[in-house]
């Protein structure tokens, strides 16, 4: 019986998606969803991970050229 309740709880957690109210909640799951949403949004707005890596490489090349 205890295992069944655990499986149901896990299913509820796995089905959970980000909600704006997650920023105001104090539980770990909400905090994690809010943080992940913010990171994904920032990466998307910056042009993705590949773009961020390219920007970093460009900055390093410029730094080497000025030295």
The yes-or-no verdict on residue 52 having pLDDT over 60 is: no
Average pLDDT on 48-67 reads: 65
| DSSP code string of 11-65 | HHHHT----GGGGT--SHHHHHHHHHHHHHHHHHHTTHHHHHHHHHHHHHHHHHH
Would you state the pLDDT for residue 65?
Answer: 66
Q: How much is the pTM?
A: 0.54
Would you state the pLDDT for residue 21?
Answer: 93
- Per-residue pLDDT tens for 9-30? 777 777 888 899 999 999 999 9
Whether residue 20 contacts residue 32, with contact meaning beta carbons closer than 8 Å, is answered with no
Would you state the pLDDT for residue 46?
Answer: 85
User: What CA–CA distance (Å, rounded) separates 52 from 67?
Assistant: 23
Would you state the pLDDT for residue 63?
Answer: 63
């Amino acid at each position: 019986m205890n295992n069944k309740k655990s499986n149901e709880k896990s299913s509820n957690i796995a089905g959970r998606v980000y909600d704006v109210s997650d920023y105001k909640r104090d539980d770990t799951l909400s905090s994690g969803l809010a943080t992940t949403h913010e990171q994904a949004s920032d990466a998307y707005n910056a042009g993705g991970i590949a773009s961020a890596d390219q920007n970093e490489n460009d900055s390093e090349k410029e730094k080497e050229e000025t030295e």
